[in-house]
Amino acid sequence: MARLRSLRWSILDRAVIRRGRSPAETLRGTIRFAREAEALNYHRFWVAEHHGVPGVAGSAPTVLAAAVASATSRIRVGTGGVMLPNHRPLVVAEQFGVLESLFPGRVDMGLGRSVGFTGAVRDALGVDKDAADRFGEQVGELLRHFDGGGPVAALPARGLRGPAFVLAGGAGGAIAAAQGLPLVMAHLSDEKRMLAAIDGYRAAFRPSPHGERPYVVLAVNAAVAATPEKAALLQVPEAWATAYSRTRGVFPPLDPPEEILAREMTERERRYFTEARSGQLHGDEAGMATALARLADRTGADELLLTLTAHDDADRLDSYRRLARIAGLGATTGTP
């Protein structure tokens, strides 16, 4: 328990749409959730970038981060992440420069290397699959806009020092190490592979003006409830949406878990559904405290970035309240 209370605890919200809700309602829900996360004393609240996905409203993370920052007062706000291959580094630098100028000391710049999920989305964005291969160059160019080393004055970014994080997908770990940046590593069911990626990042880390030592943020899909069975139920909708996307090419709005479990899945759907659940952690408070402490010890993580896309908002908030108790965050009264 002492190990858990030495960590930072943060939240990633992907603005996933529930069946029957509009994207606008979902985005307003993300802002309400950020205020609740601040009241629970979480360290960061990050939003993500997805394009052309029917079940996700979060397509413009810097815009949504600005709205979240405006609605809160203390919690750090950022992106998990901006998919840099989809954008010009100058434009991203300017966007984060504006955010850091308006909300000084509260803005995080999380960067990923993914491109659009389908060919049509990539065409609309003006990128191809190979764009991800240039991610390392883009990260370097982006940082130079803040350091003043680029040929263009990226105002108001130049001279600002907001923290940058690299998502570990693909070559992300090597890029984070080479640039001296924190790494965001997803919790994997293949623990050997996960630990090898973290160890490789630490071994290759080169101190820089952006970081003096390796810093690992472990992203975990985690659910806590009164019983392990109830907690497991909370993660069913996202696992099914993932399986649906793998078999049909579309990530849909979330359905209620009871409806999903009553369906007759095909063998292929069942395989992807089980695979999607393999990296999730769930349990009651005692069980999750043990599981997360073990994970923190095994990985040496500095921070946990928690995500849960339950169908019911009250269930999701209850899970994060229980996680806050495990972490000893000392929630404040009321919503700021």
Q: What is the pLDDT of residue 1?
A: 66
Q: What is the pLDDT of residue 334?
A: 42
For the chain, give the mean pLDDT.
Answer: 95
pTM for the model? 0.95
Q: Quick check: 332 pLDDT over 90?
A: no
Q: Could you tell me which residues come within 8 angstroms of residue 236 by beta carbon, excluding any fewer than 6 positions away? A: 257, 260, 261
Q: What is the CATH number of domain 2-220+303-327?
A: 3.20.20.30
**What are the helix (H) ranges across the chain?**
2-5, 23-39, 61-71, 89-102, 119-125, 135-147, 172-179, 191-204, 228-234, 236-248, 257-261, 267-277, 285-299, 313-327
pLDDT digits (tens, 9 = 90+) for 172-227: 999 999 999 999 999 999 999 999 999 999 999 999 999 999 999 999 999 999 99
Q: What is the pLDDT of residue 333?
A: 43
pLDDT digits (tens, 9 = 90+) for 88-131: 999 999 999 999 999 999 999 999 999 988 889 999 999 998 99
Which sequence spans correspond to the domains of the chain? 2-220+303-327
pLDDT digits (tens, 9 = 90+) for 269-325: 999 999 999 989 999 999 999 999 999 999 999 999 999 999 999 999 999 999 999
